[in-house]
Each structure stands twice: as structure tokens, then as C-alpha cells.
């Protein structure tokens, strides 16, 4: 009892306070509390009262800026800058650079320039070979191709590189293997080419199948068959969904996760098929493997009023709907006037000869043909064939230059639209064939 009373009297004698009087409630802050032995004479406790900060209004700009700064500290931490060794790389010496160029698969192929431009810029590595060993046979079996390795074919056969192109076609931008530079470059080129191959294939097919139809219904048919929403249906019909989504079930994915990879693979797949086998094989895969039907209700165009100004069609189109086998197996006769005589007749029927001999034919046609470099010097077996070809060419140019907005009553709009439709697809396909020559090593 005596010890405790003496300690209390000692504390009361040696404690000093420093305070500031304020109208606000005092908040004490213990700065230093230095306790030694209870019997010590140097025991001192210091307490300081600080004026509280006034609360800012709820809609105060300073308060909102302060909260925003605190949120940024939590949500967006400072990103670490990568080391310089990953940014600056020493340039390759001449020997390694030459070795990389000479070992590139693109330079190993000399007879097929478009095909060589779509090959990977460097050789496939072990990771690529692992995918080929595991999945390639399944893909070839689903598409109806031989299971033998394609590299056993001769050098003069473009199908020798089918295995490599088929592997690249399935490496869409959302898979792990697409991060490799040579895989990404090869797939993107095949995808770019395949998009226009499909459009040109359907353009030629529908122009010959529906000789009295304008291009607007044909575009609707094409969209109904190979539109983005319908592509997963065709991939599933060919049992290729497991090669695109090996770890997920395609039907359970949402649209934005399912449609972009399917579209990329679908386009690249037909780019590879066209490079190795040509348009006949493109038609076979479309209508046999994927099971597309041009008469399906889902791809039928909407009803519209058709003002037919075509009084004649070619004999081979009259009352006869061509199938994809007819289009794929067609070979022009030896004495044909054109490279694609049936496609020309689908756009310029024989009845259009009644428009020859007008003012444009005499005033403008010679100038147009001279500017374009026609007629070409061609040695035909029969001179009448050369004359007939030049007449048909002049008629086709007349139908192209007499735009219906100006020559509404002198020129049938039907032929102009069909020539414009097929010309657009040929133009973009030619552009797509030219662009892959900008190779990246």
C-alpha cells in the first residue's frame, strides 16, 4: 500500500501537459511515453492535442480528387519496366542472317510463288511437330484426305506442302501456338487469302446457277451460308470443333469467344486448300464435307420485285440449275473464245448483241480498247475465232462503261450489276494474291 501511494504521488508531481484550447473536442496524441523504473525521478509523459481537420462537403472537388488518387494507388500499381536486355538486342551478324534466309521454307520453293509466300518464314520446331503428330491425322480424315504424309509427293506438286499449311490453318490467334512469330505470320496470310477465295468461289457458282438473278439476292445467299453466325454450325458438322477448342466445349462458349476463332480457322482452311488443290477441291469441301445446301431455307434471299430485262440466256443455262459438280468439273473447250466462256455468258447473254452499233460503240469503244491495250495479239487456229473474241470483248466493255444511272433506257442494268459483282471479287482476290509477297523474316 505504501509503495503504490508513493508511486501515485511521484507521477502527479512529475507529469506536465501542453494543450491548446479549441472550440472543437480535443484529440490527444501520445507522442512519447518513456517509462523507466517506477521509483525513478525522470518519469515524464508528454501529450499533445491537435486541432481536427474540418470535414469537406460530400460533393467537394477536393474530396473527389483525393478519393480518386487513393483508388489509383490500389487499382493501378506502377508497372515494372522490363530490363534493357529484353528491349535492346544485338543485330545478327551476316553469317547468321544469310543462314536464316537460306533455311527459310519460303525460299525453298521456286515454282509456286503464291504458295511459297504463305509458308512460314522459318522451319517448324518441336512444338509444331508435336501438334502435327497429335492432331493432323484427325483433321485430314475429317476433310476426306489421304492420311499419308504430304511431303512424300514430288516437288512439282503443290500438295506437297499441304500438311504444313493445314497445321498453320488451325493455329488461330487465340491459341497458344500463335504466339510464335512464324506460326502467326503463316496463319494470318492463309486467313487473308481464304476469305476472298470463298467469296470468288460462291460468286462464280451463283452467277452460273441463277442466270436471271441480280447480285443482291446472291449476296444474301452467301451471307446465309458463310456468315459469322453460321460458321460454327459447319465446323461442328465436319467434327473439327475439338481441333479449334481442345480444352473447351464449343456449344457452351459465348459468341464472342466462339465465333472469332472459328472464322479465322475457316478462312485459313480454304486458303490452304486453294493453294494446294484449286477451286474444284474448294467446292468439294464446302458442299460435301461441310454439307452446305444453296437451297436451304436459312440462306434464301428475301422476296423482291424482279424487273427482268434479259430476254435470252445461254442454252446451257436455260431450264437447268447447275450443281457444284458441274461448276467444279467444267473445262472450257479447246476452241473457246475466253478463258471462262460459261461465266462470261452468265454475265453477257447472247441477247445483248442488239445493243451493238450505237453511238458509244463507234465513238468511245476504239479509244477504250486502245487505252487498255486491246485487242491482244493472239494466233488462233481459225481467224474467225479472233474476230469473234474481239466483238464479244467490245460488247462486254460497252456494258461496263454505259452506267445505268446515265444510260437508263439504252443499257440493261442487269448485265452491268453482274459484271460489277464478279469484277469486284476478282479484284480483291488479285489484291490478296499480291499482298502476301511482302514477306517478313
- pLDDT over 60 (residue 211): yes
CB 375 within 8 A of CB 390: yes
CB 273 within 8 A of CB 285: yes
- pLDDT over 70 (residue 329): yes
Residues 6+ apart with CB under 8 A from 26: 19, 49
Q: How far apart are CA 342 and CA 331, in angstroms?
A: 10
pLDDT, mean of residues 273-289: 94
Report DSSP letters for 161-173, one per residue: GHHHHHHHHT--T
Greater confidence, 86 or 270?
Answer: 270
The residue with cell 472450257 is 332
| Domain ranges across the chain | 107-306, 323-440
Report DSSP letters for 404-437, one per residue: TTTSTTTS-HHHHHHHHHHHHHHHHHHHHHHGGG
Banded model confidence at residue 321, pLDDT cuts 50, 70, 90: confident
Give the model's pLDDT for residue 73.
Answer: 64
pTM here is: 0.73
- pLDDT over 50 (residue 30): no
Banded model confidence at residue 438, pLDDT cuts 50, 70, 90: very low
Max intra-chain CA distance, the chain: 140
Q: How far apart are CA 161 and CA 149, in angstroms?
A: 10
- pLDDT over 90 (residue 204): yes
CATH architecture of the domain with residue range 107-306:
Orthogonal Bundle (1.10)
Each residue of 243-262: pLDDT tens digit? 999 888 898 999 999 999 99
Q: Point out the least confidently predicted range of 209-213, 348-352, 388-392.
A: 348-352
pLDDT, mean of residues 221-231: 92
Peptide bond into 375 cis (omega under 30): yes
Q: How far apart are CA 101 and CA 122, in angstroms?
A: 8
Pairing outcome for strands 44-50 and 27-34: antiparallel
- pLDDT over 50 (residue 35): no
DSSP 48: E
Closest CA to 300 of 210, 196, 238, 231: 210
Amino acid at each position: 500500500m505504501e509503495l503504490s501511494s508513493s508511486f501515485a504521488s511521484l507521477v502527479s508531481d512529475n507529469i506536465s501537459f501542453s494543450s491548446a484550447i479549441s472550440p472543437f473536442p480535443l484529440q490527444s496524441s501520445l507522442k512519447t511515453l518513456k517509462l523507466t523504473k517506477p521509483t525513478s525521478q525522470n518519469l515524464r509523459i508528454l501529450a499533445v492535442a491537435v486541432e481536427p481537420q474540418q470535414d469537406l462537403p460530400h460533393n467537394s472537388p477536393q474530396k473527389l480528387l483525393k478519393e480518386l488518387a487513393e483508388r489509383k494507388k490500389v487499382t493501378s500499381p506502377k508497372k515494372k519496366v522490363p530490363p534493357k536486355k529484353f528491349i535492346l538486342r544485338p543485330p545478327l551478324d551476316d553469317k547468321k542472317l544469310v543462314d536464316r534466309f537460306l533455311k527459310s521454307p519460303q525460299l525453298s520453293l521456286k515454282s509456286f510463288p503464291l504458295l511459297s509466300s504463305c509458308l512460314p518464314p522459318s522451319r517448324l520446331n518441336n512444338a509444331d511437330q508435336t501438334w502435327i503428330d497429335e492432331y493432323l491425322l484427325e483433321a485430314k480424315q475429317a476433310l476426306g484426305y489421304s492420311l499419308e504424309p504430304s511431303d512424300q509427293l514430288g516437288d512439282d506438286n503443290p500438295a506437297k506442302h499441304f500438311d504444313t499449311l493445314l497445321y498453320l490453318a488451325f493455329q488461330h490467334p487465340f491459341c497458344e501456338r500463335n504466339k510464335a512469330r512464324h506460326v502467326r505470320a503463316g496463319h494470318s496470310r492463309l486467313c487473308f487469302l481464304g476469305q476472298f477465295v470463298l467469296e470468288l468461289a460462291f460468286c462464280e457458282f451463283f452467277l452460273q446457277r441463277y442466270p436471271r438473278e441480280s447480285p443482291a439476292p446472291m449476296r444474301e445467299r452467301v451471307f446465309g451460308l458463310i456468315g459469322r453466325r453460321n460458321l460454327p454450325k459447319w465446323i461442328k458438322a465436319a467434327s473439327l470443333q475439338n481441333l479449334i477448342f481442345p480444352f473447351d466445349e464449343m456449344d457452351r462458349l459465348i459468341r464472342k469467344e466462339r465465333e472469332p476463332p472459328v472464322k479465322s480457322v475457316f478462312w485459313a482452311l480454304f486458303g490452304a486448300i486453294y493453294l494446294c488443290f484449286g477451286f474444284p477441291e474448294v467446292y468439294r469441301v464446302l458442299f460435301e464435307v461441310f454439307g452446305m445446301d444453296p437451297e436451304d431455307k436459312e440462306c434464301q434471299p428475301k422476296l423482291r420485285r424482279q424487273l427482268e430485262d434479259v430476254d435470252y440466256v445461254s442454252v446451257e443455262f436455260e431450264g437447268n440449275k447447275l450443281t457444284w459438280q458441274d461448276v467444279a468439273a467444267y473445262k472450257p473447250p479447246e476452241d473457246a473464245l475466253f478463258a471462262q466462256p460459261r461465266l462470261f455468258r452468265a454475265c453477257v447473254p447472247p441477247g445483248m448483241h442488239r445493243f451493238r452499233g450505237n453511238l458509244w460503240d463507234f465513238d468511245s469503244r476504239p479509244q477504250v480498247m486502245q487505252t487498255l491495250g486491246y485487242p491482244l495479239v493472239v494466233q488462233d487456229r481459225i481467224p474467225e475465232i479472233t474476230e469473234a473474241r474481239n466483238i464479244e470483248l467490245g460488247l462486254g466493255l460497252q456494258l461496263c462503261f454505259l452506267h445505268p444511272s446515265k444510260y437508263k433506257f439504252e443499257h440493261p442494268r442487269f448485265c452491268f450489276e453482274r459484271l460489277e459483282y464478279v469484277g469486284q471479287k476478282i479484284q480483291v482476290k488479285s489484291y490478296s494474291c499480291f499482298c502476301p509477297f511482302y514477306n517478313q523474316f
